[in-house]
């Protein structure tokens, strides 16, 4: 049986076998973690449905009349209950002060019983005992028969090394994040359940070594290890230990390994005009911690350019699907993931100096969209042909005009004009006086535009003109 210590004034502390009366069902109220659920009864037997149910962060009340609407000033009961994780458990102190009746239970077993009328004068007591590890429920029942209603209760860990020899539980939820830019490792962990926690200590050791080095002692739950060596590829184990206020230290958390990343030292690529596909190549990494590559393309998605994964590979080549020959620069990136699941830093923007990023110029295979207009007329030496395009200057996708001619009834076309246009003119035009003999023959003309990559627009409608016989 756990040791008990008495408090001031008369107190009745019953044995651990005394079990409380069944608790009436409380209204469906959910309170925050470690916050009491409080129920009010308009009787002292806690029978029937509670008049009100709410949440209470601390038990410290002094009611001079009715505590809540619907409950009389005398002969009422209030019940508090909370279930929490006590971690490794250990020595705790229950302290209670109240007028009239108060009982304190742990997991339904009575620990403090002061159940008699006191008038308006409160009396108090305390109890020291060990709470087992894990989750437990504390319940406080209070009744006021008449007069002032005063009640206060606290439970606190005993932090003196004289009483506390129980080690805290080892920290859990340890995670590591290796920053491939700074080459630093950030270690984080879940909050320890101990109520008497003093600090955490972070330890590190190289894989293959049994010697742990303390990195830091902190009250925070994350730490960035300043171990920096730009050429260091040593994998490390990390573990976290907890220390309580009595000086007891837990065992280490589950060892978490961090393997610095291999890097892609160069990335090249070629575009195949026949298939429209891009083939990427890079040196194959041979480090033991290497696991796989992820290939990405910088694509326009919902109006924004983002890095889109194309797939993963353990090899050092990748062929994309067909890419539109649009004359633009395509951007590709290859990331490395190690066997610990850490992946190369992948910034949102472009980085022209990154060795794992390629800026590849794709040939322009998109022809000007519209055919120009063509008109024919006479000139001193033959036929004058004029090509015209009305596309506004800011969105013109061509750099010049080409006009072709053939004699009617033949199949062979000849280029009579291939030149740029005067950008100061709107619409854009190009004119040629095609010198032809006055032989009575009919000549046919057609025109088209071309861009800087040599792509041609559709032809204009064909126009014909007959020269008079000389």
pLDDT per residue as tens digits for the range 173-183: 999 988 877 77
Domain with CATH 2.60.120.260 in the chain: 36-157
- Name the 3-class secondary structure at 47: coil
Confidence of residue 357 (pLDDT cuts 50, 70, 90): very high
pLDDT of res. 13: 34
What are the phi and psi torsion angles at 376 (to 5°)?
Answer: -120, 150
Contact present, 417 and 385 (Cβ < 8 Å)? yes
Is CATH 2.60.120.260 what the domain over 36-157 is classified as, yes or no? yes
pLDDT of res. 26: 47
Computed over every residue of the chain, the mean pLDDT equals 91
The rounded distance, in Å, linking the Cα atoms of 417 and 412 is 16
Correct CATH for 175-258 of 2.170.130.30, 3.40.50.2300, 3.90.15.10, 2.60.40.10: 2.60.40.10
Give me the percent of the chain exceeding a pLDDT of 90. Answer: 80
Confidence of residue 229 (pLDDT cuts 50, 70, 90): low
The rounded distance, in Å, linking the Cα atoms of 95 and 98 is 10
pLDDT above 60: residue 465? yes
Please give the C-alpha separations between residue 422 and each of 200, 255, 419, in angstroms, as whole numbers: 76, 73, 10
Mind listing the pLDDT tens digit for each residue in 398-456? 999 999 999 999 999 999 999 999 988 899 999 999 999 989 999 999 999 999 889 99
Half-sphere exposure of 58 (CA within 13 A, CB side): 8
Cβ within 8 Å of residue 11, ≥6 positions away: 112, 114, 123, 124, 125
End-to-end CA distance of the chain: 133
For the residues 268-274, what does the mean pLDDT come to?
Answer: 95
Is CATH 3.40.50.1100 what the domain over 373-466 is classified as, yes or no? no
The rounded distance, in Å, linking the Cα atoms of 453 and 180 is 41
- Name the 3-class secondary structure at 7: coil
For the residues 70-86, what does the mean pLDDT come to?
Answer: 97
Domain with CATH 2.60.40.10 in the chain: 175-258, 268-361, 373-466
Of 63, 233, 257, 44, nearest in space to 142 by CA: 44
| CB-count exposure of residue 198 (10 Å: 0-12, 13-18, 19+) | middle
Is CATH 2.60.40.10 what the domain over 268-361 is classified as, yes or no? yes
Of 18, 146, 12, nearest in space to 73 by CA: 146
Mind listing the pLDDT tens digit for each residue in 286-329? 988 899 999 999 999 999 999 999 999 999 999 999 998 988 99
Contact present, 385 and 439 (Cβ < 8 Å)? no
The residue with greater pLDDT, 15 or 290, is 290
């Amino acid at each position: 049986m756990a040791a008990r210590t008495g408090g001031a004034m008369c107190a009745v502390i019953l044995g651990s076998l005394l079990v409380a009366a069944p608790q009436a069902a409380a209204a469906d109220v959910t309170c925050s973690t470690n916050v009491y659920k409080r129920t009010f009864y308009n009787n002292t037997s806690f029978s029937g449905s509670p008049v009100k149910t709410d949440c209470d962060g601390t038990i410290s009340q002094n009611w001079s009349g009715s505590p809540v609407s619907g409950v009389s000033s005398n002969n009422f009961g209030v019940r508090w209950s909370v279930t929490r994780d006590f971690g490794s458990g250990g020595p705790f102190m229950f302290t209670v002060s109240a007028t009239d009746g108060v009982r304190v239970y742990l997991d339904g077993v009575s620990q403090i019983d002061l159940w008699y009328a006191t008038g308006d004068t409160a009396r108090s007591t305390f109890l020291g005992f060990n709470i087992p590890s894990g989750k437990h429920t504390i319940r406080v029942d209070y009744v006021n028969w008449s007069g002032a209603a005063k009640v206060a209760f606290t439970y606190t860990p005993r932090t003196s090394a004289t009483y506390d020899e129980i080690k805290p539980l080892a920290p859990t939820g340890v995670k590591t994040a290796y920053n491939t830019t700074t080459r630093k490792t950030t270690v984080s962990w879940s909050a320890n359940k101990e109520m008497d926690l003093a600090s955490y200590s972070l330890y590190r050791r190289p894989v293959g070594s049994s010697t742990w080095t303390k990195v830091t002692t902190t009250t925070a739950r994350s730490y960035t290890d300043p171990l920096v060596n730009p050429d260091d590829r040593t994998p490390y184990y990390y573990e976290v230990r907890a220390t309580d206020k009595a000086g007891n230290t837990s065992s280490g958390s589950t060892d978490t390994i961090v393997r610095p990343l291999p890097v892609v030292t160069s990335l090249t690529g070629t575009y195949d005009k026949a298939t429209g596909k891009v083939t990427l190549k890079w040196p194959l990494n041979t480090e033991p911690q290497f696991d796989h590559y992820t290939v990405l393309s910088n694509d326009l998605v919902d109006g924004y350019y983002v890095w889109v994964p194309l797939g993963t590979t353990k090899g050092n080549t990748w062929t994309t699907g067909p890419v539109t020959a649009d004359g633009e620069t395509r951007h590709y990136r290859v990331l490395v993931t190690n066997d610990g699941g850490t992946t190369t830093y992948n910034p949102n923007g472009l980085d022209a100096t990154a060795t794992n990023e390629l800026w590849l110029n794709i040939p322009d295979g998109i022809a000007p969209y519209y055919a120009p207009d063509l008109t024919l007329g006479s000139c001193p030496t033959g036929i004058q042909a004029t090509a015209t395009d009305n596309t506004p200057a800011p969105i013109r996708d061509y750099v010049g005009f080409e006009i072709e001619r053939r004699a009617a009834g033949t199949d062979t076309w000849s280029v009579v004009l291939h030149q740029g246009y005067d950008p100061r003119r709107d619409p854009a035009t190009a004119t040629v006086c095609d010198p032809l003999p006055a032989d009575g023959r009919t000549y046919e003309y057609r025109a088209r535009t071309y861009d800087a990559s040599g792509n041609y627009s559709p032809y204009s409608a064909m126009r014909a003109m007959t020269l008079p016989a000389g």
